[in-house]
Chains A and B, each alone.
Chain A
Amino acid sequence: MIPLQIETQISFGGFDLSVDETFSLAGITALFGPSGGGKSTLLRIIAGFENAARGRISFGENNWQNQDQASFVAPYRRGVGYVFQDARLFSNLSVRGNLEYADKRSGKLSSSITLDNVVAALDLSSLLQRQPGSLSGGEMQRVAIGRALLARPQLLLMDEPLAALDFKRKAKILPLIEKLPTMFDTPVIYVTHAIEEVMHLADGMIALADGRIIAHGPIDDMLARNEVQSIIGRFEAAALVNATISSHDKVFRLTELDCAGTRIKMPFANLKIGSKVRVRIRARDVALALKRPEGTSIQNILPGNIAEIIEEKDTAFAEIIVDIGGARIRARITRKSVAEMKLAVGTAVFALVKSISFDRRALA
């Protein structure tokens, strides 16, 4: 855990950003929020690209700026790597030239990062002789990520690096990004407005909207918080639940998971028994019943107690947080149902889960 302390404000064109927080960075921290909320601006302030931003910024032992102008550390002295949305490869250099550009300027620093292992990790060997102009969007971003790593940064900032890519390309690069912090021992701040990317990658999360930090902390806590759910959007609201693979059913091709003592079934997943996984249960896929229903197609019927009811006054819906042996899942049902079933905190209910998807497959 490395503390990143930011106390800054900036305003331009009717928008203002004001932050006064200390974030604990480890692994990948998603900087999440709606477009136009100030995510990129905050990232640029950390990198030192926004001269107009006053205030205090420190990362671990390093003071990058204080209130006074004189203490401002220039971007190139901060040791902050940056992957831009638009790659920004140097068009006058080949792919190899781009990688070597960074490698040469940071070669004296002690680091586990080498040109060879970056090329291997990001599968760049077939691209080395190419010119940046001839690369596809996905290839460009892989090179840009490799180049940023070769600057041996003490902190790597990534500004929506996959925003311009289609779904298939994203799916290829996400697993590469996921392993960066552990492979290269570099904390990452990853800007995105796509909640799927957050769930796939992040260990921690900073939620930012309208230029203000809404909340920050470990990913599981954050996703359970209402103020975070409200920026994710109710419809996509989901719970992340940690579980362990407990058995496989070869006949019906199902996999059974143990989730805080509760058994849940999923379509077969080729994972070893005992593997730890994270599953994602969307609130809209969960219904509630007061009695255990019979004659239903739903496989996962989980007994629990209502922990919290959040009514959305201006819509037909309410969100119910159900405690299932310690794990908390969310159900999105109508407010009319809440009234008719007389649901209250503490009511014993059965959660009917229509579908579950794997999130990150933590390696066994």
Chain B
Amino acid sequence: MEKRVTFGGGVLPYLLVLPQMIITAVFFLWPASQAVYQSVQLPDPFGLSTTFVWLDNFKFLLSDRYYLESFQTTAVFSVAVTVLSMGLALLFAVMADGVIRGASTHKTLLIWPYAVAPAIAGVVWLFLFNPSIGVVAFYLKYAGYHWNHVLNANEAMLLVVVAAAWKQISYNFLFFLAGLQAIPRSLIEAAAIDGAGGWHRFRTITFPLLSPTTFFLLVVNIVYAFFDTFGIIHTVTAGGPERATMILVYKVYADGFVGQDLGSSAAQSVILMVIVAALTVVQFRFIERRVHY
């Protein structure tokens, strides 16, 4: 897509793109190339010199039990967050789509948690489930269950999943609701006249017509769970107990800033960049398809 009519050349267009180009070059391209460069280097223990080690950092990573475990943790975490937040959001959106009275109040009350920062969401959920003072932990104890996510790996995972999903429901809800409202009423009514019940209509008409929205949200939610949940992990569990909630992004931080293992951290960054690039390509191919369908 191009404009038919344009201004002539001259120096002006260069001046207009200059600010963005400078920032992109200094804060994106330079660091990214540094990451690639460092990922094939091994600094000596005093940081005085580095040796070129080809792909040793990657080889080491891929044979590192902790790194592979972190991959697995990330997979479990992101699948759980995606399924939980998209499932609940779809349920709420379908219900809100059917409701007429009070619809905008419902909508407002469901979407505002989007504005809560992941780190703050972490603080809030940590407060509810704090083993010694948390309200929910207290009532669980009252009911005979001793909640302690500080020691129990599964409970820690559950807590970060719930906190991360809770924050993302609003976003998914908005997109599902927009998708539902775009479905022509006449289709649903025709099916109802043919005698299809509510569940049957949802399964054979509404859900298939929502599939572009669902697929789009799938990618967005995976990206969210991979990268934007750093704040939740950092405030709630800091990757613990025993690395049970050490997702990949958190490990880059832990190894690079806490562990000072720059070569490994850079190699992990490069692997993450490849993952983001792949997800972006998937998303764009899908959008191209949606434009033409």
Q: Do A and B bind each other?
A: no
A residues with a Cβ closer than 8 A to B are: none
Chain B residues within 8 Å of A, Cβ to Cβ: none
